[in-house]
Amino acid sequence: MTGLALEDALADLGGALDAPSGDALALRVGARIRAARAPRARRRLLLVFALLVVLLLALSFVPAVGEWLGIRGVEVRQEPAPTTVTTDAGASSGLDLGRPVGLDAVPIVPSALGAPTGVWLDERPPVPIVTLTYQDGTLVAELRAVIADDVVLRKFAGPGVRVEALEVDGHRALWVEGAHAVAVRTGDENVVDEFRTSDSALVVEIGDLTVRIETRRGRDAAVAIARNLVRSAGVGTP
Amino acid sequence: MESSDGELVERAQRGDVDAFEALVDRHRRVALRVAYAVAGDDAEDAVQDAFVKAYGALGRFRAGSPFRPWMLRIVANEARNRRRSANRRSTLALRVVDPATDGGASPEDAAVASERRRALAAAVGSLEDRDREVIALRWFAELSEAEMATALGVRPGTVKSRLSRAMERLRAALADNEVTA
């Protein structure tokens, strides 16, 4: 084969190679980039807020007002709860977790906690919240807050309440230590926010679920429950 | 009007993933062809990883320079690394799909052309990785020698000598195959 004939033959071979067509390649690459960007953005956000927490602790004589930490669907504001709730529909208080339902309504059941004393479904917020209650006062609430900016729960961590960003088996979490107020958004912005008080709580993202674990048994116990939920859900490290 | 590579790169650098997807779609066939010549059946995974890495490296892309050779450098690296990590040192079997005949060639001519393609693919597949890579960039991706220099990260003079040596070895492989056939 002459030099030119070989070059022509190679050019022809390039078009005839049985290489993959890659029809969906662009979509797959785009999906991977978008998926990778979200955690990075979240990590940056956590870093910023971790620095903020350090700064707030360093300047503890200055009242911490208006700063907040976020987990998908849950906003933790580092400020005292409003003494009154100003809404169009008025305020309510107390532990209203919705109506009783069966265990089959629970996205992930924490197997390590045994049988719950109650299972509740609250359908008033923008996304339903399923709550399991246990004999020792532990409470596990699960919600599918798929829209990152849509706040369903607001926690007000005032003075004496510590907020710590952490990871549970690679899943983003916040530990709020100390009694604090929780507001449940029960509809549009102009409709009532329902307030109640909460013990220390861990909020963790597991797959597309946001789970809130309220316990008096401390941070390590809450993290253990979260790990059990991660295993029960069968989701890997995000 | 269709956006140029430069415009799409600029948008992607500002975080526009749709623009980067358009770049991927535009260059995927050439990228897959080069990766297939280097890494065989690992081509699609290699190219997917390469494009994701390319997106992360867009900040280092020099504005105004051609996108394709820059991207093919990442693709070739990824394909080469995959083949190395899989410890595949034997001949690479490159499959060929004959193009549909347009009615101009007789069945006999088409069969001869098909046989020649297969023989050439076998000869290319028998070359060392670095020879296959340089041949793929020149003939399968149709890069100029200057573009190949970018893709290989070497000087244009080095491209010329590498290509020349690869072609010599390809001719030798073809001759060997003819003798043994």
Query: A157-189: per-residue pLDDT in tens?
Result: 666 777 788 888 888 888 888 776 676 665 544
Q: Which chain A residues are Cβ-neighbours of B75 within 8 angstroms? A: none
Q: Given a cut of 60, is residue A147 above it in pLDDT?
A: no
Prediction ipTM score: 0.88
CB burial of A130-151 (b: ≥16 within 10 Å; e: otherwise) equals: bbbbbeeebbbbbbbbeeeeeb
Q: Do B24 and A25 touch (CB under 8 A)?
A: yes
pTM: 0.53
Residue indicated by tokens 């088409």: B110
Looking at residue A157, what is its pLDDT? Answer: 67
Pairing mode of beta strands A129-133, A118-122 = antiparallel
Confidence class of residue A81 from pLDDT cuts 50, 70 and 90? low
Give CA–CA dist A22/A26, Å, rounded.
8
Give the CA angle between residues B159, B161, B163 to the nearest 5°: 65
Q: Given a cut of 50, is residue A55 above it in pLDDT?
A: no
Listed residue (A177, A181, A180) closest to A218, CA to CA: A177
Q: How many CB atoms lie within 10 A of CB A90?
A: 8
Q: Do B97 and A21 touch (CB under 8 A)?
A: no
Q: Which chain B residues are Cβ-neighbours of A3 within 8 angstroms? A: 167
CB hemisphere CA count around A65 (13 angstroms)? 4
Cβ within 8 Å of residue A135, ≥6 positions away: A117
* Max Cα-Cα span within chain A: 90
Looking at residue A89, what is its pLDDT? Answer: 29
The two tokens of residue B101 are 């005949």
CA distances B82 to B73, B74, B88, B89, Å, are 14, 12, 9, 12
Confidence class of residue A144 from pLDDT cuts 50, 70 and 90? confident
Pick the residue of A13, A28, A44 with the most B CBs within 10 A to test the interface with B by mutation: A13
Listed residue (B23, B118, B174) closest to A25, CA to CA: B23
Q: Which chain B residues are Cβ-neighbours of A28 within 8 angstroms? A: 48
CA distance A43 to chain B (A): 17
Burial label, A234 (beta-carbon count in 10 A; 0-12, 13-18, 19+)? exposed
Q: Which chain A residues are Cβ-neighbours of B138 within 8 angstroms? A: 10
Give CA–CA dist B151/A183, Å, rounded.
57
Confidence class of residue A91 from pLDDT cuts 50, 70 and 90? very low
Looking at residue B107, what is its pLDDT? Answer: 78
Residue A184, beta-bridge partner list: A153, A194
- Position A91, amino acid: A
